[in-house]
Structure 1
Amino acid sequence: MKVWGVTLGWLTVMASLLVAVFVIKQPALNNDILALLPQSEPRLQQLETHFFASNKQQLSFSFSGENKEQAYDEMVAWLAKKNITPRFSVPKVEQLATFYSQYAGNLLTPSYQHALTDASRFQDYYFSQLSKVADPFVSSTINLDPSLSTAEFLTSVITQLQQFEMSDGRISIRHLDNDYLMLFVHAADNAFSIDQAVALNDDVLAQLAQLHTNYPHTSVHYSGALFHTAENAQQAKFEMTLFGTLSLIALIIMVVWVFRSFNALWLASVTVISAALGGSIALAIFFAEIHVLTLVFAVTLIGIAIDYAFHSMLDLTTHKNGFSRGLKLALLLSLVTTTLGYASLFFSPVQLLTQVGVFVVAGLITAWLTTLLLLPSWQARLTISVEAGKFAEKLSGLLKSIHRQKVAIILLLLVSLSVFSLLKPPVLNDDVKLLNASPQVLMNNEALHMSLLGKDNGQIMIMFAENAEQLLLKQEALKVKIKQQGGQALMLSDLVPSAGTQQKNNNEMRVHHASLDVVTQLTGSPLVLSDSILTLDAALDSPLGPLIANQVILNNEFAASWFMVTGIDKTQLAEWARVESELLVYDKVAMITAGLEDYSHSLLVTIAIAITFAMLLFTFKFGFKVAYQQGLILGLTLAAVLLLCSAIQTQLSIFNLLGCLLILALAIDYLVFYQINKLTPSNVLAISLSAASSMWVFGMLAVSKTPAIFSFGLTVLVGLICIYLLAPLCVALPNNKEK
């Protein structure tokens, strides 16, 4: 009972330390994926938060076919019961007329200006406008602004805002000879809260299924970030539950078969749990905010920490008085080399990798201490099965026979990899689109809705300026260039012209006062033009304020606005942005891809540093010749992994490199243990058990439908097979005299 008490006491102390550190430091958990990327400049971060945060909570639906109106109304009523309201609504005409008529004469459209330059032309234009008795803007503004300049301005603005028609209060769009009704709603709950997203996703899909039952000839398409979040979360949860369960069962079977005792399983669990607790304590101490994905990637610690337990337990079954000297040395060298490799992550520019490095290094040190302090007291309770012993003898003999052909194998592998790399060199592609695991139906829905809104060929741009007036002037100049190139864009300056433009318009009205005589004749009173200038601050309090606020950000440091340009090639927009430093082509997909590329470069450097550290230590301990051979094996293993994975996947991603980092750590472990303990049956069995457990825990991920998980799992699986077969080749087997 004493050994149980000591072991449980150790775990209790570790858990208590973790709780104490969390209570004192109170680190926060962060699950924002975009927060992992190298941070943009501060003002761009402000823009993203201000402009695009609400898009996460937007849900879009389109209805087509028979009974689309009834299906639309039922969906609106059902959503209203869940406090999910329509996102877009156009203000009442009377409100717009009252506000904008205060600036009569300052807000002119190009068509109005053209008519104003000739009295006869303006008279025809004016009477033509008066004849539109059904035009709500004419009827609502004529008493406030008889010149009808406000009516023309509002008509132009609303026409640009409404890129679609309204049919009985519903948004109606004609696309490819089909009529669609579109519904945009805003979910009150945070769309990136996983549990809420999954719950709402299930409710919406159930309602859509009911609509299909009620109206079988009506098609309803849905899109939005919430649905992607829910689908990916459910897929990941299913896979992790399935893979985790199968891996745990396989691990239990392997350990029990080898040791014929649950004591070994308990000790392996204690080692891994201690490592996880040690890593978590270090994270809580050094970081005020811990990213959830740090814990996801740091799970690679399991594959390394459990090796310490396997080697230690098998060593204890073959020696009488605690650990052998060779085992202690191998554990220490393995710890030092792996720790140095992961410590190189400390200097990564990406905080995620830094956190992974801290977690793994602290966890490995804890696992090493756990192994040395706790496992020897369990020696009397550990045994190895006869079947496992015989199996180890056979494996040892097989690896020795492979070892005798090491020169031929290495030469053949070098030639094969060289030829393969020339015929099909590996391609590293970190395009974030390749990592998308959303169902195809969702992707099709997104594409349809972008086409319906005419944004499938649009490009978002962002413009910066020192103040609001400068921003409006720069937008007006850019709008001229866009029109000259045959493009279109609704800008802030279309809703709020610059003060200079307004003053120019007012002067033009006064210069061409003769054209306005027709207005004076009809009203019987002189036309009064406004002396007030519409400012951006005033516009933010107007009926169009919510729309304007979503397009502009103002503070003491800068002013900025976003807008979408259509009809112009992206290369042309990029050229304009290159010339104008305050103009930015905003492509979030490209930005995320660039961030992933930074990750990849950082990981490549980390892998190179880890190999360098390992080689230096191998040289110091084993000599240059052995270090050279082991370095060759590491290089061959990584080359084979990358080439094979590239052939299977067509192209590599950052998650292949993360898998290589784990393979490198395991490979160093195997090389150290082989070099010190040679191809003895117990050592071969320990490494085989380690490789088999890692294959089950990580290799099974190679059948995942999630691209990132698949890439990581495939890399680990291929790498484990390669290093298991190649690591014994660099072992210097003793001759009979040395024995």
Structure 2
Amino acid sequence: MNLELVTRRLAGLWLVVVLACLAHNAWYWGVHKGAPVTDMLAMLPRDEQRPMAAQATQALADAGARRITVLIGGGEAVQAQRAADAFLQALGDVPARHRVDASDQQAWLQLFAPVRAGLLTPQARERLANASTDELADQALAALYQPVGGPRVGAWADDLLNLFSQWLAERGQSSRVRVQDGRLMLADPATPDHHYALVLIELPGSGFEVGAQQALQPRLEAAVQAARGQGAKVIRAGVPLFAAVAAEQAQREIHTIGAGSLVGIVALTLLAFRSLRPRLLVALSMAVGLLVATSVSLLVFGELHLVTLVFGASLLGVAENYGSNYFSARQGLAAHERWTMLTRQIPVVTLAMATTVIGYALLALPPFPGLRQIAVFSAVGLVAAFVTVLWWFPLLDGNGRMAPTRFADWLGSRRALWPSLRGRGMAVLFVASALLIAAGASRLRVDDDIRQLQSAPASLIAEQREFARLMQAPGLAQFFVVQGRDEQELLQREETLTAQLRGMRLGVQAVSDWLPSLQRQHADAALVSLRAVELRPVLAERLGQPVAAAAASAAELAPADWLASPASEPVRAQWLGRLGDGVASVVLLRGAESADTRAALAALNLAGVTWVDKVGEVSGLLGRYRQLMSGVLVLGFAITWAALAWRFGLASWRALAPTALACALTVALLALAGQTLQLFHILPLLILLGLGVDYGIFLLEQPGRHEIRPFLSVTLAAASTLLSFGLLALSGTPALQAFGLTLLIGVFLAWLLTPLFLPPHA
């Protein structure tokens, strides 16, 4: 069976696959209304060794993904309130909360008042346990004659020491927000005469949904302008704000990188081949690659991240290589000669494609969901583009002779300008390279901190920090997950943990501060009752009249009642409920910024308590995989050398050495340019391995100094890759920028060095 007949049959089968992918894409994006994922947490690894920590992190992220918090003011309270009204009016029907109903305040008392005997602050508990009866009597009389701070619920005799008022005051002090004139307000701790109105915006869906972001952003911006029009300062905080910026940036980069790559590649191919048909067919191969990659990625992962699409836009330059190589080899040949040409080309192009796909596939080794999605998308897209060139191009490229163009002949003939180094020339190259690499090594800095990959605008980060200062809110990057077999064991373990944390002088925000365990409620109620029995005779003697006994109450504060009440709102998100085999909650901290403090917290060993330091864990993971992937890169070179030896034998080093040298020089140049080395500088070297070796394969297959077609193909391929990844180096996402910059330098060096390593007699 001849090659033409086999190709026609395979082309038909490939057409069926492509049409199926086209229908799948049309259904997903059109009918199903699918949208790219913008949640950057989805790109990070889950804690597979501690699934409880991973689930808790996700639960906190889900809660935060729906809320935007806004502070409005900066001057007098009246001005802040006026600006808040203007903000809310411009916001329209977006769900927002600023006012507090009297019914909500009453709900607090209705929830806690029946169980007030079981609600003690740590200070009150210690005083009841240790103070003498006379000292307590003095306190009780002071509470009678000079009541201070907080509401008194019921008669004086029911709460002789006004303990409930102290407990409520402590709950109020856990937040800087106060209810003033029925509004949520706070004062700047550094400048008390600067007041802010607090507005809570609760989105009906996730803030990561692109549609929700597009609907909210115009209204939010209009509301901000309305508040500023009243002379107020506006400070916004919340995950949806970062998600919106990331989505807008990614969409902008898709258009910029995709359009820039396409325009550049179109110009190159028109100059090289003059005819429009090669340009259209090359565009077809790239479109098929992206189409099939999208479908396969959706089937494998169930969703597609926006960063994957941005990276996919840069894939155009690599996918273009196969089409350009085909038409470079086709120049000057009659139509019937294409099959002979294809017979010679298939082994070479297949080997080149395999080495490139290996480089992309190695990206899937780290446990980063985002990298694995990019690896699958890229590898599948390249294979699909390659198959399209192999099975469709011979049937669609026309029946005439493809005449060489003047530009193609000129570009291909530039190969003769490169000397083939040997002996002294090769020694000079390696000595110069060694000096440059040594200089780079002396300047090399490594930093795996995940915060280095932060891409949010500085203004938004500054707003977030100012908000945290004003609110004195706990951090969300480090926290404890507490788990129990049931709700009461969970609360008891929380109480043990919070006691230790407060002993370390840390700020704590915990569910058990609002919802004590039944064990604590009963113990505190018993302590209050015992000291009240001792107090009444002393007070009766001092007052000269009997003191009535407190009304008996067997009420208990249960988790279900607390969760259903508005009183749980400040910390409700920290109650994770059923998680794994038990019930879980999160304890948040203030003042855990130093490395020594975090180390001490990590060393705590309590039953059912897990320390989570997401920043530290991911940063440590980045560091470990930077080292691991450096080893994988060496392994990749060894595997590629074995594949090249199968084709080129002892001469295979000539195809591999230029890329190896380009990798080393790239790292050196990045260091000399002041770049801090991290994982996303190492990973693109795996891709460079595949791309650079392709140049060696094509040139080593036809190494003659006056061979035009191989150097034309290699130069067009390198130029296309530089266009796509060069634009990626301009990305505002640090990880993508590192990818692009590394490949921009590395691909150019690989193209520049490869002709120097060809056999001298060629």
TM-score range, shorter chain: 0.7 to 0.9
1:495-644 superposed matches below 5 A: 495-512=514-531, 513-517=533-537, 525-547=548-570, 549-555=572-578, 557-567=581-591, 571-580=596-605, 582-597=608-623, 600=626, 603-624=629-650, 626-644=651-669
Letter in 2 for 1:255: T
Structure 1 CA distance for aligned equivalents of residues 240 and 496 of structure 2: 38
Deviating more after overlay: 719-728 vs 675-684? 675-684
Deviation at 1:132, TM superposition (A): 5.4
Note the residue ranges of structure 2 that are not aligned, 5 or more in a row.
Answer: 1-7
Tell me the equivalent position of 1:211: 227
Alignment partner of 1:183 out of 182, 198, 204: 198
Letter in 1 for 2:171: I
Deviations 1:196-219 (A, max 9, x none): 32442233223323433x334x32
1:461–1:563 Cα contact (<8 Å) kept: yes
Structure 2 CA distance for aligned equivalents of residues 424 and 609 of structure 1: 26
Deviating more after overlay: 693-702 vs 351-360? 351-360
Deviations 1:150-191 (A, max 9, x none): 633542343234334443223122332251304131232431
Going from structure 1 to structure 2, the CA distance change for 1:527 and 1:433 (only over 3 Å counts) comes to same
Deviation at 1:660, TM superposition (A): 2.2
Going from structure 1 to structure 2, the CA distance change for 1:92 and 1:234 (only over 3 Å counts) comes to closer
Deviating more after overlay: 37-46 vs 249-258? 37-46
Tell me the equivalent position of 1:719: 746
Structure 2 CA distance for aligned equivalents of residues 91 and 490 of structure 1: 25
Going from structure 1 to structure 2, the CA distance change for 1:97 and 1:257 (only over 3 Å counts) comes to closer
Going from structure 1 to structure 2, the CA distance change for 1:83 and 1:601 (only over 3 Å counts) comes to same
Alignment partner of 2:722 out of 687, 691, 695: 695
Q: How many residues align?
A: 727
Structure 2 CA distance for aligned equivalents of residues 298 and 87 of structure 1: 47
2:35–2:209 Cα contact (<8 Å) kept: no
Going from structure 1 to structure 2, the CA distance change for 1:364 and 1:204 (only over 3 Å counts) comes to closer
Structure 2 CA distance for aligned equivalents of residues 368 and 509 of structure 1: 80
Q: Secondary structure at the match of 2:419?
A: helix
Q: Secondary structure at the match of 2:53?
A: helix
Letter in 2 for 1:56: A
Tell me the equivalent position of 1:163: 176
Q: Secondary structure at the match of 1:550?
A: helix
Tell me the equivalent position of 1:222: 236
1:261–1:382 Cα contact (<8 Å) kept: no
1:316–1:376 Cα contact (<8 Å) kept: no
Deviation at 1:667, TM superposition (A): 0.5
Deviation at 1:446, TM superposition (A): 0.8
Tell me the equivalent position of 1:240: 254
Deviating more after overlay: 668-677 vs 8-17? 8-17
Deviating more after overlay: 286-295 vs 574-583? 286-295
Note the residue ranges of structure 1 that are not aligned, 5 or more in a row.
Answer: none
Going from structure 1 to structure 2, the CA distance change for 1:264 and 1:73 (only over 3 Å counts) comes to same
Going from structure 1 to structure 2, the CA distance change for 1:96 and 1:221 (only over 3 Å counts) comes to closer
Going from structure 1 to structure 2, the CA distance change for 1:196 and 1:7 (only over 3 Å counts) comes to farther
Alignment partner of 2:403 out of 359, 363, 383: 383
Structure 1 CA distance for aligned equivalents of residues 359 and 66 of structure 2: 42
1:172–1:182 Cα contact (<8 Å) kept: yes
Alignment partner of 1:121 out of 135, 145, 162: 135
1:103–1:530 Cα contact (<8 Å) kept: yes
Alignment partner of 1:669 out of 694, 718, 728: 694
Letter in 2 for 1:39: R
Tell me the equivalent position of 1:491: 510
Tell me the equivalent position of 1:201: 217
2:488–2:517 Cα contact (<8 Å) kept: yes
TM-score normalised by L of structure 1: 0.87
**Alignment partner of 1:646 is 2:671:** yes
1:141–1:151 Cα contact (<8 Å) kept: no
Going from structure 1 to structure 2, the CA distance change for 1:534 and 1:351 (only over 3 Å counts) comes to closer
Deviations 1:102-121 (A, max 9, x none): 33433233454426843332
Alignment partner of 2:443 out of 424, 430, 434: 424
Structure 1 CA distance for aligned equivalents of residues 208 and 320 of structure 2: 35
Q: Secondary structure at the match of 1:703?
A: coil
Structure 1 CA distance for aligned equivalents of residues 260 and 316 of structure 2: 16
Going from structure 1 to structure 2, the CA distance change for 1:278 and 1:152 (only over 3 Å counts) comes to closer
1:146–1:523 Cα contact (<8 Å) kept: no
**Alignment partner of 1:96 is 2:108:** yes
1:105–1:506 Cα contact (<8 Å) kept: yes
Q: Secondary structure at the match of 2:480?
A: strand
Deviations 1:698-737 (A, max 9, x none): 21232334323322221121112100111112212446xx
Structure 1 CA distance for aligned equivalents of residues 108 and 376 of structure 2: 59
Structure 2 CA distance for aligned equivalents of residues 419 and 186 of structure 1: 55
Going from structure 1 to structure 2, the CA distance change for 1:406 and 1:465 (only over 3 Å counts) comes to farther
2:272–2:408 Cα contact (<8 Å) kept: yes
Deviating more after overlay: 366-375 vs 267-276? 366-375
Going from structure 1 to structure 2, the CA distance change for 1:579 and 1:588 (only over 3 Å counts) comes to closer
Tell me the equivalent position of 2:3: none
Letter in 2 for 1:648: A
Q: Secondary structure at the match of 1:245?
A: helix
Structure 2 CA distance for aligned equivalents of residues 285 and 510 of structure 1: 65
Alignment partner of 1:79 out of 81, 91, 94: 91
Deviation at 1:90, TM superposition (A): 9.2
TM-score normalised by L of structure 2: 0.85
Structure 1 CA distance for aligned equivalents of residues 730 and 241 of structure 2: 23
Structure 2 CA distance for aligned equivalents of residues 151 and 224 of structure 1: 34
1:100–1:150 Cα contact (<8 Å) kept: no
Deviating more after overlay: 445-454 vs 535-544? 535-544
Tell me the equivalent position of 1:65: 75
Deviating more after overlay: 681-690 vs 229-238? 229-238
Deviations 1:455-492 (A, max 9, x none): 47895333333333333333333333333333332433
Tell me the equivalent position of 1:265: 279
Going from structure 1 to structure 2, the CA distance change for 1:249 and 1:548 (only over 3 Å counts) comes to closer
1:482–1:489 Cα contact (<8 Å) kept: yes
Going from structure 1 to structure 2, the CA distance change for 1:340 and 1:397 (only over 3 Å counts) comes to same
Structure 2 CA distance for aligned equivalents of residues 20 and 270 of structure 1: 17
2:98–2:184 Cα contact (<8 Å) kept: no
Q: Secondary structure at the match of 1:242?
A: helix
Q: Secondary structure at the match of 2:673?
A: helix
Q: Secondary structure at the match of 1:564?
A: strand
Alignment partner of 1:55 out of 52, 64, 82: 64
1:175–1:452 Cα contact (<8 Å) kept: yes
1:551–1:563 Cα contact (<8 Å) kept: yes
Tell me the equivalent position of 2:5: none
Instruction: Give the superposed CA RMSD.
Output: 3.7
Letter in 2 for 1:42: P
2:328–2:713 Cα contact (<8 Å) kept: yes
